[in-house]
Amino acid sequence: MTYIYKTGRIELYQQIKKYSSLINGRVLDIGSGSFSRYQNLFQFDEYVKMDIEPGKNVDVVGRIEMIPFKDQAFNSIVCTQVLGDVYELSKAFNELYRVLRPGDVVLITENLFDPLHDEPFDFWRFTIHGLRRLAEDVGFEIKVLERRGGYWSIMAQLKARYWIERIRPNNKWFAKIFSLRLKILGTWAIFLDSRDDSRANKLFTHGYILIAQKSSSINSR
């Protein structure tokens, strides 16, 4: 199966890489799926992969609303593109706070603009204000809350996703040519975003990265 270029995936990887040095120690990757995703970006002592379904890449089967570990079990948590499929968000954030050690951080990424996916479990899209409230309401301190991409890259991504769904190119003879065209379009869009500092452009984003720290005081809650 040929990999099809997606602007949003490239920007997501680069954004996580930018802040990867904050992830260390004993790490919990929530929603690890069937491949290692971003594990290679981090320095760690132990990397525990959790998902709702068993698989060869999964160490522990569990849900973010009820993480099957004791309090303060991890130095870092990675949770990328998971929360949109979680209905009980308050429970999820409380669990993230519970299993994290004082003074340590969780890295979360989520989308604002995205087509329907994983139906019927696709519940939410996130604004910067919603992510901030969800984290602060359980006691987290916001260390990083940064947008990912702008108007131009969003348009390139939406066009790519539309045509990927429309023609299903992965196993077609033209897959590599199709992916190359999307790469050219996406690279140009990322360049345009880098040059567009307008307020209008800042209103559009693929989504956000949130890095939140648990209070260093054990009795903070």
CATH number (domain holding residue 119): 3.40.50.150
Q: Is residue 81 part of a domain?
A: yes
Q: What is the mean pLDDT of residues 119-141?
A: 97
| Domain residue limits at 103 | 7-149+206-213
Asked if the model's pLDDT at residue 170 lies above 90, the reply is yes
> Where residue 2 falls among pLDDT bands split at 50, 70, 90?
confident
Q: Is residue 190 part of a domain?
A: no
Asked if the model's pLDDT at residue 34 lies above 60, the reply is yes
Sort strands 100-111 and 141-148 into parallel, antiparallel or unpaired.
Answer: unpaired
> Where residue 58 falls among pLDDT bands split at 50, 70, 90?
very high
Q: Is residue 201 part of a domain?
A: no
Domain count, the chain: 1
pTM reported for the whole predicted model:
0.94
Q: Is residue 90 part of a domain?
A: yes
Residue type at position 59: D
Q: Please answer whether residues 174 and 79 qualify as being in contact, where contact means their C-beta atoms are separated by less than 8 angstroms.
A: no
The pLDDT score that the predictor gives to residue 202 is 95
Q: Which stretches of 41-170 are DSSP H helices? A: 89-99, 128-136, 151-167
Comparing 4-8, 75-79, 211-215, 216-220, the range with the smallest average pLDDT is 216-220
Asked if the model's pLDDT at residue 116 lies above 60, the reply is yes
Asked if the model's pLDDT at residue 11 lies above 90, the reply is yes
Q: Is residue 178 part of a domain?
A: no
Cα gap 64→95, rounded to integer Å: 7
User: What is the average pLDDT value for the chain, to the nearest integer?
Assistant: 95
